[in-house]
Amino acid sequence: MWLFYAIGSAFFAGVTAILAKCGIKKTDSSIATAIRTGVVLVFSWIMVMVVGSQKQIYAIDGKTFWFLVLSGVATGASWLCYFKALQVGDINKVVAVDKSSIILTVLFAFLILQENVTVQKAIGITAIGIGTWLMIQKKEEKAKKTKKTWLIYAGLSALFASLTTILGKIGIENLESNLGSAIRTFVVLIMAWLVVFVTGKSGEVKKVPRRELAFIGLSGIATGASWLCYYKALQEGPASVVVPIDKMSILVTVLFSYIVFHEKLSKKAFLGLILMTIGTIIMLF
């Protein structure tokens, strides 16, 4: 059953990037992150009520609580960096770097969760690494400053995403997955709005165009669906397998980025996408 949830997570995650890109053309990425997190929070608690896991909140021990908080902080940092990268970079390249977090996740899973790193997994992450490098190659030279900006944010997004997975895996060992996601989302919401107020951007919230606000809301719904599926799969399946399936969302993103934004892959980028897909499949089977 966890395989079904992992696939659902990949689809919704792929759609999220497209909807988010549509919502941050004029809207600041930090504000967009804060707004969409509120949508995800509502969605998360609705699911908690549906499955009836809200009663477990009184049974959460200190270890679980603090790991959920740390996981929420890592998630917030990853989202803020990810949407900043999306705002200034190409979707396909940003998503490729973000999805390469699987390499760090496998490493952390080995060091912290003591999950084995087989020869098969080593070959898989090598293919993903090479594929990522090929996908971020530019067809033509652009301003170096711009290139470094999106790449730095995308890289940080990948780092925090991998930490989110490991911390989340530990934090939901003895907790219903929907409740764990809801608590983590609340932490992300606080963090996102703190960033908005600390950076002095709170006055821009009222200026968000309605059309972009709608896309931000839809991306929040897609994120909520992806998140719930992901952590349900993570709770029942091994992190080193669930994560690769989730990273297949890049195929969904590439397809929709071509349809919506007409972003075409170069021959190198297409080869990179194939290598990333092959690497993911190798790690899966």
Smallest CA-to-CA distance from 39 within 225, 246, 229 is with 225
pLDDT in tens, 82-104: 999 998 888 888 988 988 888 88
Dist. CA 33–CA 188, nearest whole Å: 9
Please give the average per-residue pLDDT across 6-14, as a whole number.
Answer: 88
Q: What is the mean pLDDT of the chain?
A: 85
Please give the average per-residue pLDDT across 246-267, as a whole number.
Answer: 85
User: Other C-beta atoms within 10 Å of 39: how many?
Assistant: 20
Q: Does residue 173 register a pLDDT over 60?
A: yes
Residues 6 or more apart whose Cβ sits within 8 Å of residue 171: 64, 67, 68, 70, 71, 180, 184
Please give the average per-residue pLDDT across 241-248, as a whole number.
Answer: 75
Give the residue carrying structure tokens 């899973």: 109
**Who has greater pLDDT, 280 or 204?**
204
- Using CA atoms, how far residue 149 sits from 5, 86, 141, 155, in Å, is 34, 11, 15, 10
Furthest CA-CA distance within the chain: 56
User: Whole-structure pTM over 0.85, yes or no?
Assistant: no
Choose from 46-60, 109-123, 143-157, 268-282 the range with maximum mean pLDDT.
268-282
Smallest CA-to-CA distance from 82 within 10, 16, 129 is with 16
Please give the average per-residue pLDDT across 194-221, as a whole number.
Answer: 92
Dist. CA 184–CA 207, nearest whole Å: 28
What local confidence, expressed as pLDDT, does residue 22 receive? 92
What local confidence, expressed as pLDDT, does residue 2 receive? 81
Q: Does residue 172 register a pLDDT over 70?
A: no
3-state helix, strand, coil in the chain (%, to 5): 85, 0, 15
Choose from 57-71, 153-167, 222-236 the range with maximum mean pLDDT.
153-167
Q: Does residue 147 register a pLDDT over 60?
A: no
User: Other C-beta atoms within 10 Å of 190: how many?
Assistant: 15
Q: Confidence class of residue 25 from pLDDT cuts 50, 70 and 90?
A: confident
**Who has greater pLDDT, 162 or 62?**
162
Q: Confidence class of residue 148 from pLDDT cuts 50, 70 and 90?
A: confident
What local confidence, expressed as pLDDT, does residue 140 receive? 46
